[in-house]
Amino acid sequence: MANVAATALTSHMKITSIPQIYRNVNRLTEVLSVLSKYGLADGISRLNFDFAKGLLKNRDGEALARHTREARIRMALTELGPTFIKLGQILSTRPDLVGKKLADELRSLQDNAPADPPDRIREIIEAELGQPIDNLFDDFRDDPIASASIGQVHRAKLKTGDEIVVKVQHDGIVDTVRKDLDVLTGLAQMVEGFPEFSAYRPVETVAEFQRTLRRELDFGREERNLEHFHARFADNPNVTIPRPYEPFCTSRVLVMEYVEGTKLSDVDSIHDPTLDRDELARHGVDIYLDMIFADGFFHADPHPGNIVVLPGNRIGLLDFGMVGRIDEGLREDIEDLLISIANGDSTHLTNLILRIGNAPRDLDETAFRTELADFVSHYGSQPLERFKLSGALDEMFDMIFRYRIAIPAQVAMLLKVLISLEGSSKLLSPSFNLMQVIRPFHRKAILRRLSPARRIKKFRRVYAEIEHLIEVLPRRITDILEQVQAGKFDVHLEHRGLGPSVNRLVLGMLASALFLGSSLMLSQQVPPLLFRTLPNEPSYWLGLSNVSLLGLAGCVVSILLSLRLLWAIGKSGHLDRDDSK
């Protein structure tokens, strides 16, 4: 099956994909083998023979045909290792791209990985920091407290007595990721031409994944994120963000303050009578909304494992390897989008989605507006205290996916952060309503937009752009006029979708010319001849005699070409359709 899959993909291979495939042919074969194995379940699941459905199993002994397609994708990514697990986790934040069912399934991907041996971890730390472990730390615990796909975390204590954690990259992970990214890039380039994959935008998706994963591999970037957020919330008594220790940080080792608390996923185990769950949920949401709508720079992974509950109704945020950044214009659009859903303004919501996203050329805008109006009518009529933002955003993502509207990755990430944030808040307080907290932020945002300082700042930016335009416009117009006068002005036209039409036109002309030429050869009895007879002799068969062999062959071929052309036109559905309507 792996060979069959490789043959099918190779037929669509682009020249640019050959280097990635050639350098990592063994890994490519392994990937295709795993994907083919999990794809076999499709055929078995359609059989009526129950005994056959248990024959194909994954490495854990589970029968593949008894699982959904989404579950098999998750299992295949798990079997392929850290890079593909990360890919699945990132795709779980893009229901607009892969659909809600697959995104929900990929959320359950476990980011656990075997820990490296203690001796190897010590070697990496000593090589990165240039000193023996005993000189660096007063105490270093070899047993990791966590091990994920990129690195593992150890408790330690500095010579100053500070309790810290040391995050160390797995041995060889950079080389493993590089090979897998090469394979993914090659595969994306090969399947880009397949219609069934076009909706997933493979090349664009893999390119975005590469940027995200390479940022996560650089612990120096995470150190800078920690420094930024630690300084940003230093005066906020409701949140603790670990402080990095810069002298002990490199691109492969990250040393930061140890934050001792209870993970949000284990909050039910806390029996502290002073714990106010409603207040804690409110503090957490206020912090995230402040990051999102005030700064446009936010912690992008607020799942319960990355949030800890601290004494005094405080929270701690962990793991700043994945952060989001969104510019001012998109922030304002998302604020308006959320309020449009709550206020039932379907017209404004539709215009916002079409402005933010990239709609396909064949979008049925009337149907999209109608379906979105029904969606807004349902959620806009709900009392605010019963409004579920996660449900509304999930349903909106489903519509965006079905109508193949591409929205920017940072917008999709932000909306998924809001969904995760609502889920995490409800772990603390089931009655918590995120939309009730967002509305005051929206009012603050409107006041911020209308503030004199904001108006002056925007005016200066627009004035600078107009001034630049006034400076370059005369020169550009002069250049164009000079090119026209010299006969060097070129207009480049790009024809889209004309390839099949031109091919059919050429095929029709060839069939017509072949038929006419063959008919002349038949009428002139051009040798060699079939059923040859002498003058005044009766015809040989069915009234035929002296039939030109070349003319007859040409007529048969032209008729076959014409039938092939009619079949192709009929299959496309464009035989008698008026596209002008």
- Please give the structure tokens belonging to residue 515: 């038929």
263 CB neighbour count, 10 Å cutoff? 15
| Residue partners of 576: CB distance under 8 A and separation at least 6 | none
Q: Which amino acid is at 86?
A: K
Q: For residues 138 and 158, is the Cβ–Cβ distance under 8 A? A: yes
HEC per residue, 148-193: CCCEEEEEEEECCCCEEEEEEECCCHHHHHHHHHHHHHHHHHHHCC
Q: Which amino acid is at 514?
A: L
CA–CA distance, 85 with 97 (Å, rounded to integer):
17
Among residues 180, 182, 301, 336, which one is catalytic? Answer: 301
Q: What is the largest CA-CA distance in the chain?
A: 121
Burial of 155 (0-12, 13-18, 19+ CB in 10 A): middle
Type and span of the H or E element at 138: strand 137-140
CA–CA distance, 197 with 206 (Å, rounded to integer):
13
Q: For residues 388 and 432, is the Cβ–Cβ distance under 8 A? A: no
CA–CA distance, 175 with 186 (Å, rounded to integer):
17
- HSE-CB at 125 with a 13 A cutoff on CA atoms is 29
CA–CA distance, 261 with 280 (Å, rounded to integer):
14
Tell me if residue 301 is catalytic: yes
- Please give the structure tokens belonging to residue 328: 């001012």
Burial of 17 (0-12, 13-18, 19+ CB in 10 A): buried
H-state helical runs in 257-364: 277-289, 328-343, 346-356
C-alpha distances in angstroms, 277 versus 238, 267, 284, 441? Answer: 13, 10, 11, 21
CA–CA distance, 102 with 110 (Å, rounded to integer):
15
- Three-point CA angle 286, 290, 292, nearest 5°: 120
| Long-range contacts of the stretch 139-148 (C-beta < 8 A, 24+) | 140/166, 142/118, 143/118, 144/115, 147/112, 147/113, 147/114, 147/115, 148/111, 148/112, 148/113
Alpha carbon distance, N-terminus to C-terminus of the chain: 46
Residues identified as active-site: 301
